[in-house]
Every structure is written in C-alpha cells, then in structure tokens.
C-alpha cells in the first residue's frame, strides 16, 4: 500500500527545512529587535472561541470536529482569538503587551496557488496601545522584515484606514457603506468592469458606482495621497489627522517613501476597526504576502476589558513563492561543523571522545554509526555539508596527533590531539 501526504499538506526534508528555518530566523530576528516577546499557544481550541467573532460558518473553513470528550474543537486557523482569550484571562500584564510566535495553522478550504491547508505563520501584535506610534512601529517591523528577506524591490506596502474610507464614502453620498466595503474587499478578484457591475448589482446608481471607483483608485505615495483625500473630508477629521501623524512618524523611521496609501485595502470587516495594510508583490502575480491592522474590539469579546490592539501576520507559503521567484530563497543544503572519521573500530572510542569535546563547545558534530570505510565516510561527510573532517587514525594517535581535512579546499594538516578543540573552533 502506498501512502502520500494529504492535499494541501507538505513534507519537508532536512535541507528543505533548514532553508525554511532560516527564513523564520530572519523574521524573528527583526521582531525581537523591536522588543516583541515570544509566546506559544495551543494548536487546538474550543470551536466556540472562533464562532464568537466569525460565526458558525467558520466550521466549513476549518478543521473542526468533536473530540472523544464530546467537545467541539478546532485546529487553529489563526492565533488572534487565542491571544485575545489569554489576554482576557491574564489581568496583571503590564501594557503594552508585545507578543510574537511562529507556528503551524490549519484551514480547510480549497487549495490554490499561495493557499494551502497547513502552513506556518508568524503573528506579531501590540496590545494596550491605541497610539499612532504603535501603528507606525508595526509598519516599521513589516518594512524591516521585507528588507531582511531581500524582497524590498519587489513589493508594495499598502495602507488604508477603514474609518477614513467609511467617512469618504459617506461624504460621497454612499449610504450602504458596509455592503460597498464588502464589495471593495473582493475587488482584487474582479476585472474593472466586473467590479463596476457588482456595485450596480448591490443597488448603487451608475454615478455612485463611479464615485466608488474614483475612491478606490486613490493609490500612491502615502503623504501625497493623504493630502488628496483631505480634499474630500474635513481638515479637522480625526482619522485624517491621525494619518498625517502617521506620516510624520514614518518619516522619523525613514520609511515614509516605502509605504503607499491605497483606499481599496479593506481586509476583514469583522475584525479590523481602523488602520489596515497588506504587502503585495508589485507584479500582482501573488496573494498578499502579509497583512494586518488595528482590531480594538476583540479582547472585550472574550470577557476581558477593552484593550486596543494592532498587529500583522506573515505566512510561509506566499513569501516562499516570492523569494524563489526573486532568487533569494536560502540555499537548501545541510550544514555540519565537523565530521569525526574513525578509520577503524580500534580508534572508535578516541573518536567518540573527540566528538563529545567538540559538541560540548556547541559545535554540530557527527561521527560514524555504520562501521563504514574511509571513502564511504568522506562521501557522507560531503553529503551533510561538513566544513571539516577530523580523521582519527592509529598511526597519528601514536604520535598524539589527528588529521584535519578542510572539505572545501581539500587541504589537510596534522595537529596535536591536545589542540583539537582550540584549532577546530
């Protein structure tokens, strides 16, 4: 009987996982520099945790089932509700709370390019700060991650504010703002003609539909487009003032030119309450690389106090596609510091002693486990990407020495057995 991994799930060999871990390491290195602290949360939660915000229709989009105790449970499709649950129960945390974590998530939905049923995702959130500064910091983290992953020339960071969009729609005489925003949220899946037709189908007149088209076409350099929107709303508009403040802080971070205002960015209407943003590749070939925004009402839903929150998530599926396309995906190869090669069973114990000493120094060290000859061991050392091979032979040991072989150059040299740790490190 032949078994294969299920649709939408993936296997990773060690060299493939090494490259993926390198990407996670780069992302987390940026996040930690900003003072975010790592947490870990359950992979399985009560189904009702997700129904609180998303409703019962969520069951069709997740791996939800009844466990042996008769409880309805869900493999987490996202981590935000879990974080809100934890915050609601932990009353003594000093705010702002800055958390991050990388783990697997699951969504039972149609697999397609950029979307699988099991994937890795890093979530980064600030709880307890409703300031523009917290939003600017989140955007600064996103930009630095883009730089760290070497894709800055290939992507756009697109920012909007849901409140601002609502106010612009209202000033343009659009009454059913919720339905219009839902249509705008689906706009990327439609042609321009289809989008216009959809606006008419939901009850807008042609003049109103044209106004909506004009609004969502506002996209460009953040400061310039904020001033363009200013012509549509009052100068004293609170959200507009906030966007101007955001521009000033982004200038201080040196990233104002890296961020664009895009009035078509809406994101989840059931989650986000203000700022929203997404990162797309400039070619428009891929799904959003990462996205996030402000969600100030979520923690309160889970029995906690009202706690403002802003954050984002970045998954491994789309970022891998982009990095491979740009030729910057990490090399998929195994890496080992040292391979200790005993030439015979007679020197095995001395080889193990050297192996242990090097491992005690924090080096990645392998040695023979199959009683292979020298040639086979050298082939294996090459396969695991060993930088050096220490050859332990009887004649050398009689002189108190061993041979160190540099695998890249092929150079060999005899060194004293007492100097092994010092020379190899």
CATH of the domain at 343: 3.40.50.800
CATH of the domain at 307: 3.30.930.10
Report the domain count for the chain: 2
193 pLDDT above the threshold of 90:
no
Does one domain contain both 188 and 211? yes
Give this prediction's pTM.
0.90
pLDDT at 245: 95
The average confidence (pLDDT) of the chain is 92
Does one domain contain both 291 and 317? yes
Residue 52 lies in a domain: no
Does one domain contain both 317 and 230? yes
310 pLDDT above the threshold of 90:
yes
213 pLDDT above the threshold of 90:
no
pLDDT at 313: 96
Residues 222-258 have pLDDT tens digits of 999 998 888 777 667 888 889 999 999 999 999 999 9
28 pLDDT above the threshold of 90:
yes
pLDDT at 89: 87
Does one domain contain both 302 and 378? no
Does one domain contain both 123 and 205? yes
pLDDT at 180: 85
Tell me, letter by letter, the H, E, C secondary structure of the chain.
Answer: CCCCCCCCCCCCCHHHHHHHHHHHHHHHHHHHHCCCEECCCCCEEEHHHHHHHHCHHHHHHCCEEECCCCCEEEECCCCHHHHHHHHHHCCCCCCCEEEEEEEEEECCCCCECCECCEEEEEEEEEECCCCHHHHHHHHHHHHHHHHHCCCHHHEEEEEEEHHHHHHHHHHCCCCCHHHHHHHHHCHHHCCHHHHHHHHHHCCCCHHHHHHHHHHHCCEEEHHHHHHHHHCCCCCCCHHHHHHHHHHHHHHHHCCHHHEEEECCCCCCCCCCCCEEEEEEECCCCCCCCEEEEECCCHHHHCCCCCCCEEEEEEEHHHHHHHHHHCCCCCCCCCCEEEEEEECCHHHHHHHHHHHHHHHHCCCCEEECCCCCCHHHHHHHHHHCCEEEEEEECHHHHHCCEEEEEECCCCCEEEEEHHHHHHHHC
Does one domain contain both 316 and 418? no
Does one domain contain both 416 and 314? no
Question: Given the structure tokens 């998929």, which residue do they identify?
Answer: 332
**Domain span at residue 124?**
14-40+86-325
Share of the chain above pLDDT 70, in %: 98
Query: What is the rounded average pLDDT of the residues 33-52?
Result: 94
325 pLDDT above the threshold of 70:
yes
Spatial contact of 125 and 80, defined as CB atoms under 8 Å apart: yes
Residues 63-91 have pLDDT tens digits of 999 999 999 999 999 998 899 899 988 88
Does one domain contain both 232 and 352? no
Residue 75 lies in a domain: no
- Domain stop point among 278, 300, 325: 325
Does one domain contain both 96 and 186? yes
Eight-state DSSP code of residue 9: -
Does one domain contain both 350 and 415? yes
Residue 47 lies in a domain: no
Residue 29 lies in a domain: yes
Does one domain contain both 238 and 316? yes
């Amino acid at each position: 009987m032949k078994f294969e991994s299920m649709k939408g799930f993936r296997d990773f060999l060690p060299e493939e996982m090494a490259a993926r871990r390198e990407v996670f390491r780069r992302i987390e290195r940026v996040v930690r520099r900003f003072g975010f602290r790592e947490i870990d949360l359950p992979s399985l939660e009560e189904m009702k945790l997700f129904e609180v915000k998303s409703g019962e229709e969520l069951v069709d989009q997740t791996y939800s089932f009844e466990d042996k105790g008769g409880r309805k449970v869900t493999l987490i499709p996202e981590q935000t509700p879990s974080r809100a649950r934890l915050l609601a129960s932990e009353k003594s945390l000093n705010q702002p709370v800055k958390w991050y974590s990388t783990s697997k998530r699951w969504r039972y939905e149609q697999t397609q390019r950029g979307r699988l049923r099991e994937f890795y995702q890093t979530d980064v959130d600030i709880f307890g700060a409703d300031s523009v500064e917290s939003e600017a910091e989140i955007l600064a983290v996103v930009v630095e991650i883009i730089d760290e992953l070497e894709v800055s020339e290939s992507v756009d960071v697109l920012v909007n504010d849901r409140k601002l969009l609502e106010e612009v729609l209202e000033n343009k005489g659009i009454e059913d703002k919720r339905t219009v925003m839902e249509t705008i949220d689906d706009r990327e899946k439609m042609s321009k003609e289809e989008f216009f037709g959809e606006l008419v189908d939901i009850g807008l007149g042609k003049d109103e539909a044209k106004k909506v088209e004009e609004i969502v076409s506002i996209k460009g350099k953040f400061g310039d487009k904020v001033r363009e929107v200013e012509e549509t709303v009052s100068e004293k508009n609170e959200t507009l003032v906030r966007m101007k403040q955001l521009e000033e802080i982004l200038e201080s971070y040196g990233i104002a030119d890296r961020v664009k205002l895009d009035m078509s960015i809406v994101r989840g209407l059931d989650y986000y309450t203000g700022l929203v943003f997404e990162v797309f590749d400039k070619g428009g070939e891929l799904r959003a690389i990462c996205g996030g925004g402000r969600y100030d009402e979520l923690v309160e839903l889970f029995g906690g106090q009202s706690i403002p929150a802003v954050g984002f998530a970045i998954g491994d599926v789309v970022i891998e596609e982009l990095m491979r396309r740009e030729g910057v995906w990490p090399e998929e190869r195994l890496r080992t510091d040292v391979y200790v090669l005993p030439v015979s069973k007679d020197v095995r114990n001395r080889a193990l002693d050297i192996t242990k000493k090097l491992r005690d120094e924090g080096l990645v060290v392998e040695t023979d486990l199959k009683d292979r000859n020298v040639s086979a061991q050298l082939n294996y050392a090459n396969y695991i990407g060993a930088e050096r091979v220490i050859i332990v032979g009887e004649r050398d040991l009689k002189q108190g020495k061993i041979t160190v072989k540099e695998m890249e150059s092929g150079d060999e040299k005899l060194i004293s057995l007492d100097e092994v740790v010092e020379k190899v490190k």
